[in-house]
Amino acid sequence: MTGDERGGRLEVIAGPMFAGKTEELVRRVHRAQVARRGVLVVAHELDTRSGPGRVASHSGLAVPSRSVRAAAEIPALLTAGTELLAVDEAQFFGPDLVDVATELADAGVVVVVAGLSVTFDGRPFAPLPALMAVAESVTKLTAVCTVCGRDAAFHVRSGATPADDALAPTPGHVGGSESYEARCRRHRAG
Ligand code: ADP
Ligand code: MG
């Protein structure tokens, strides 16, 4: 079968922290598994939050994954039966992920990439903007602003250290020691 017949495509899931990007990635992986598609889930070695060998959402949804140090290592992990490749925390992989994801989609793989579209100071976060530009589908998610409950397209550093979190847990920090909070446009500046 040629790549074209297999229907390769690139799907991007983007947004700030806590937007549900990993939940959506895991949902698509589960659907592919129900359909008996060959699935490969890849994480970056720098992403230590979920623990080794798994991708996990803040709400506890998880799937087994392989970890790599660079985008260039991903193609070697695919087998002839890999029909869906899911990559979480795309921002860790840098610009090289754009060519790797494009080449695999061209070769017939459904490539689903989730990652942060903004930095903590509200700027576009590479390579998500470039991936969004060349994708068949883009799902842009928002979190809930921890100040007012509006749609949050941003996240900010809350200033809390992991030690502070242990002493006084902050709303929006679910089971983690991240010092970030989701914020709407109005509340991203303090
Ligand atoms: P992401 O991968 O985008 O960081 P996850 O999929 O890991 O997000 O987690 C999404 C979950 O995080 C939500 O379903 C909810 O349970 C939890 N959560 C915690 N804080 C927030 C928030 N401020 N806004 C939305 N969801 C939040
Ligand atoms: Mg995530």
Is position 54 within any domain?
yes
Structure confidence at residue 1 (pLDDT): 60
What stretches of 78-148 show up as alpha helix (H) in DSSP?
96-106, 128-133
Active-site residue, from 83, 89, 178, 181: 89
Q: How far apart (Å, rounded) are the C-alpha atoms in residues 58 and 88?
A: 13
* In a domain? residue 146: no
pLDDT of residue 161: 52
Domain of residue 97: give its range: 9-141
How much is the average pLDDT of 22-28? 98
d(C-alpha 11, C-alpha 168), whole Å:
38
The chain-wide mean pLDDT, for the chain, equals 90
Report CA(159)–ligand 2 centroid distance (Å): 20
pLDDT tens track for 110-150: 999 999 999 999 999 999 999 999 999 999 999 999 999 99
Whole-angstrom CA distances from 1 to 109, 111, 143 are: 12, 18, 40
Residue-level pLDDT at 2: 55
d(CA 82, CA 190): 45
What local confidence, expressed as pLDDT, does residue 70 receive? 98
Q: Judge whether 16 and 143 are in contact, CB under 8 Å.
A: yes
> How wide is the angle at C-alpha 103 spanned by C-alphas 98 and 107, nearest 5°?
150
**Per-residue confidence (pLDDT) for residue 109, from 0 to 100:** 98
89 is catalytic: yes
b or e along 75-98 (b: 16 or more beta carbons within 10 Å of the residue's beta carbon)?
eeebeeebbbbbbbbbbbbeeebb
At residue 170, does pLDDT exceed 60?
A: no
Q: Cα separation of 178 and 26, whole Å?
A: 21
Q: What is the pLDDT of residue 47?
A: 87
Domain membership flag for residue 4? no
Residue 38 and residue 109 in contact, taking contact as beta carbons nearer than 8 Å: no
> Whole-model pTM?
0.90
CB-ligand 1 contact for 143 (6 Å cutoff): yes
How would residue 187 be classed by pLDDT, with cut points 50, 70 and 90?
Answer: very high
pLDDT reported for residue 159 = 72
- Confirm whether 62 is domain-assigned: yes
- Is 23 a member of any domain? yes
Ligand 1: centre distance to CA 129 (Å): 21
pLDDT at residue 174, as a whole number = 39
Nearest ligand to the CA of 90 is: 2
Residue nearest to atom 15 of ligand 1 (CA): 59
57 in ligand 1 pocket by Cβ < 6 Å?
A: yes
Cα(32)–Cα(47) distance, integer angstroms: 24
Q: Does any ligand 1 atom lie closer than 6 A to the CB of residue 16?
A: no
165 lies in some domain: no
Residue 12 has pLDDT above 50, yes or no: yes
Residue 50 is assigned to a structural domain of this protein: yes
Distances (CA, A) of 169 to 73, 140, 147, 177: 38, 28, 15, 9
* Residue scoring higher pLDDT (76 or 158): 76
In testing the pocket of ligand 1, which one of 18, 113, 117, 177 has its CB within 8 Å of the most ligand atoms? Answer: 18
Domain count, the chain: 1
CATH number for the domain that contains residue 18: 3.40.50.300
CA of 46 to the centre of ligand 2 (A): 13
Q: What are phi and psi of 45, to 5 degrees?
A: -60, -30
Query: Does some domain include residue 31?
Result: yes
